Structure 1
Amino acid sequence: MLDVRRLYMLKTVAARGSITAAAHSLELTAGAVSQQLAALRNDVGVDLLRPDGRTVALTEAGRVLLEHADRILAAMEEAESAVAAVKGAVGATATLAALPSTVARIVAPALTALGSCHPQLAVTCLITDQAQLRELSLGTVHVVLGQRYHQLPDATPRGIDVSPLLDDPLLVVTAADQGDGRPVMLQDLAAHDLAVPPPTTDCGQAVLQGCRRAGFTPTPRYVTADIAAQLTLARAGLATALVPRTAIDPTTPGIRTAPIADHPIQRLLFAATRHTENANPTTTAVIAALHTAARSTTQPAVLM
Structure 2
Amino acid sequence: MLDIRRLHMLRTVAARGSIAAAAQSLALSAGAVSQQLSALRHDVGADLLRPDGRTVALTEAGRVLLEHADRILAAVQEAESAVAAVKGTVGTTAALAALPSTVATIVAPALTTLGSHHPQLTVTCLATDQAQLRELTLGTVDVVLGQRYHHLPDAVPRGIAISPLLDDPLLVVTAAEQADERPVVLRELATHSLAVPPPTTDCGQAILHACHQVGFTPTTRYITADIAAQLALARAGLATALVPRTAIDPATPGIRTALIEDRPILRLLFAATRHTETANPTTTAVVAALRTAARQARATHLPAV
Is the TM value for this pair above 0.5? Answer: yes
**Equivalent residue, structure 1, for 2:47:** 47
* Residues 254-296 of structure 1: CA deviation (Å, up to 9, x unaligned): 1000000111101000000000000000000000000000001
SS at structure 1 position matched to 2:219: coil
Matched, 1:67 2:79: no
**Equivalent residue, structure 1, for 2:208:** 208
Matches within 5 A, 1:29-178: 29-178=29-178
**Kept after mapping to 2: 8 A contact 1:95/1:123:** yes
**Equivalent residue, structure 2, for 1:233:** 233
* Residues 142-193 of structure 1: CA deviation (Å, up to 9, x unaligned): 0000000001112211100000000000000001112111110110000101
1:219 CA drift (Å)? 2.4
Paired amino acid for 1:65: L
- The alignment yields a C-alpha RMSD, in angstroms, of 0.8
**Equivalent residue, structure 2, for 1:287:** 287
**Kept after mapping to 2: 8 A contact 1:257/1:301:** no
**Equivalent residue, structure 1, for 2:21:** 21
Paired amino acid for 1:256: R
1:301 CA drift (Å)? 2.6
1:104 CA drift (Å)? 0.5
1:240 CA drift (Å)? 0.3
SS at structure 2 position matched to 1:251: coil
* Identity between Structure 1 and Structure 2 (%): 81
SS at structure 2 position matched to 1:104: helix
SS at structure 1 position matched to 2:165: strand
Aligned equivalents of 2:57 and 2:206: distance in 1? 32
Aligned equivalents of 1:155 and 1:197: distance in 2? 22
Unaligned runs of 5+ in 1: none
1:297 CA drift (Å)? 1.2
Aligned equivalents of 1:250 and 1:281: distance in 2? 34
**Kept after mapping to 2: 8 A contact 1:47/1:62:** yes
Aligned equivalents of 1:238 and 1:231: distance in 2? 10
Aligned equivalents of 1:292 and 1:6: distance in 2? 39
TM-score by length of 2: 0.98
**Kept after mapping to 2: 8 A contact 1:94/1:124:** yes
Aligned equivalents of 1:2 and 1:298: distance in 2? 49
Aligned equivalents of 1:253 and 1:244: distance in 2? 17
Please say which of residues 212-221 and 200-209 is displaced more in the overlay. 212-221
Paired amino acid for 1:292: T
Deviating above 4 A after TM superposition, structure 1's stretches of 4 or more consecutive aligned residues are: none
Unaligned runs of 5+ in 2: none
Aligned residues: 302
Paired amino acid for 2:15: A
Matched, 1:266 2:271: no
**Kept after mapping to 1: 8 A contact 2:110/2:292:** yes
Aligned equivalents of 2:277 and 2:221: distance in 1? 49
SS at structure 1 position matched to 2:220: coil
**Kept after mapping to 2: 8 A contact 1:193/1:240:** yes
1:66 CA drift (Å)? 0.2
Aligned equivalents of 1:76 and 1:186: distance in 2? 49
**Equivalent residue, structure 1, for 2:257:** 257
Paired amino acid for 1:22: A
Aligned equivalents of 1:203 and 1:171: distance in 2? 12
**Equivalent residue, structure 1, for 2:184:** 184
